[in-house]
Amino acid sequence: MAIPLNRQVLDMKPSGIRKYFDVIQGMEGAISLGVGEPDFDTPWHIRDEGIYALEKGRTHYTSNAGLMELKEEICAYMKRTQSVSYVPEDVFVTVGGSEAIDLCMRAMLNPGDEVLIPQPSYVSYEPCVVWAQGKAVIIELKEEHDFRLQPEQLLEKITDKTRVLVLPYPNNPTGAIMEQKDLEPIAKICVEKDIYVLSDEIYAELTYEGKHVSIASLPGMKERTVIASGFSKAFAMTGWRLGYAVGPAEIVEQMLKVHQYAIMCAPTMSQYAGIEALRNGEADVAGMREEFNRRRRFLLHAFEEMGLPCFTPYGAFYVFPCIKQFGMSSDAFAMKLLEEEKLALVPGTAFGDCGEGFLRISYAYSLDNLKRAMERLQRFIGKL
Amino acid sequence: MKLRQEILNVLEKNARTPMQELAVLLNATEEAVEKEVQAMEEEGIICGYHTIINREAANDDKVSALIEVRVTPQRGMGFDSIAERIYKFPEVDSVYLMSGAYDLMVILTCKNMQEVANFVSMKLSTLDSVLSTATHFIMKRYKDHGTVLAKRYEDTRELISP
């Protein structure tokens, strides 16, 4: 008898970044700009709250949906930043924003339902849709639109089976954002065509030269939007595995059911730390955002100096330069760069086929690190 | 945020940031940044650029002491004139006026303990308005001016992640 393995899982191709990981492992003197998490440690007062929770013996389960205090803080946060009013029944606490994405698909989709996924974007949307028996329909975002979703692109892909649109902004890997003026026509279409939205707002706090706008804040959208977000990027809390979902109570209730059977509850000490983060972490976020912004400007300037075209991103901590002029695939470029200059980047294709011709460069690194990396990149380009 | 504040935020962490780089980081012209820095130097907003030295690592066996000083304030001058008499000694690094059980906190660095003792007994205590002193030697510096000494930052993240 064959080993019991699920066909859909077997057929899913593994993440495109794995092989870089294998090459860079054990490479002496390599620099990586390939990381998708902040370089800052979690602010001390937040860590201290986690430690205190452990000391007090807060080592048991919480209710499935998470601590009431934390849910109330999340509601207050949504009110404060997006002027959208939620009640604790609309919220529950997850193991990272990624769990919220998974649960959202599982709770909303029936076999054959279509989900629109703009790409390049985070790697997990497509697998989550497939495993929830849905059909992933890719919308290829274009550099000429600054990787913002265009209403015509959306209309083109809508069929009578379309149920959900994934809105991944601020975007990993491009750093693109959607401003209110970009969201308005999208929202209008969603209302008209009765499409629901999963808005992945994990990078919301990392928006530069302006504030993040959630599509849930637009007319008619709160009742058809599930927001997946969390503490990882805003408060540099990736290892705490703490996120949340906010949305219509009818959907959240079903997501919570899956969460209850699969997970029980998010880590208790992390939840206590999360309360502290939302209550007293605003200054930390502002400080980190300012630092990220300086690095963003530094990289864009460095690209300009070396003649590497790159659209101006205003979010997350990634830049997405175009390497089409060198006539190599992203994958070949990234691998050669790693072998010759020991500089690791992630090829745009790791985030969808339309990432071909681009590289994702993370600036979750110190300025000194970025400077050394840019010297290597410039030298490499000079040789091509 | 105003350019001035942004400049201070960068220089406070790294005083050696070149003007050209500062301009790139803050999305301003080099001239504008230079002008602001110069103006802040003239206005006494930027008062100096110092290096944080880990003396232990530099094998420097100078000693530092923190002295609590109680003084009688002077009519018309408050604490300013006595503070000035103290801070003019070159071995004095810092002088702060404090609330609480004593008035001035004096931090000084000397070649050895003997020199500190001499300073306190010969120079400080003999000042007319000084009522009493309490000297504490600094045994180890863990963090100075927001910088943790001796511990290098280590990146423990996975090398590549989505």
**How high is the pLDDT of residue B55?**
87
Mean pLDDT estimate for chain B: 93
pLDDT score of A16 more than 80: no
Prior bond to A120 cis, omega within 30?
Answer: yes
Q: Long-range contact list for A26-32, CB < 8 A, 24+ apart?
A: A27/A338, A27/A342, A29/A342, A30/A338, A30/A342, A30/A343, A30/A344, A30/B159, A31/A342, A31/A343, A31/A344, A31/A369, A31/A372, A31/A373, A31/A376, A32/A343, A32/A344, A32/B159, A32/B160
Give the distance from CA B20 to its chain's centroid. Answer: 27
Rounded average pLDDT over B126-149: 92
B26, B153, B162 member nearest A15 (Cβ): B162
Give the pLDDT band of residue B76 (cuts 50, 70, 90).
Answer: confident
- The answer to whether the CB atoms of B160 and A37 lie below 8 A apart is no
Prior bond to A151 cis, omega within 30?
Answer: no
- The answer to whether the CB atoms of A35 and B161 lie below 8 A apart is yes
Question: Which residue in the block uniquely carries the two structure tokens 């997850």?
Answer: A94
- Closest-CA distance, A191 to chain B, in angstroms, reads 32
**How high is the pLDDT of residue A78?**
98
Q: Is the CB of B162 inside 8 Å of chain A's CB atoms? A: yes
pTM, to two decimals: 0.93
**How high is the pLDDT of residue B1?**
65
Residue of B nearest to A122 (CA): B162
Of B25, B24, B23, B27, which is closest to residue B35 (Cα–Cα)?
B23
Q: What is the ipTM of this complex?
A: 0.85
Chain A: which residues have CB within 8 Å of chain B? 15, 17, 20-21, 24-25, 30, 32, 34-37, 39, 122-124, 172, 290, 294, 297-298, 301, 344, 346, 350, 366-367
Mean pLDDT estimate for chain A: 97
Rounded average pLDDT over A80-92: 98
Judged by average pLDDT, the poorest of A191-205, B8-22, B77-91, B141-155 is B141-155
- The answer to whether the CB atoms of A30 and B25 lie below 8 A apart is no
B25, B153, B160 member nearest A35 (Cβ): B160
Helix (H, G, I), strand (E, B) or coil at A118: strand
| Residue A239 burial (CB count, 10 A) | 14
Residue of B nearest to A365 (CA): B155
Rounded average pLDDT over B23-48: 97
- The answer to whether the CB atoms of A290 and B1 lie below 8 A apart is yes
- The answer to whether the CB atoms of A301 and B24 lie below 8 A apart is yes
- The answer to whether the CB atoms of A25 and B159 lie below 8 A apart is yes
| Residue B94 burial (CB count, 10 A) | 11
Which one has a higher pLDDT value, B162 or A171? A171
pLDDT score of B150 more than 80: no
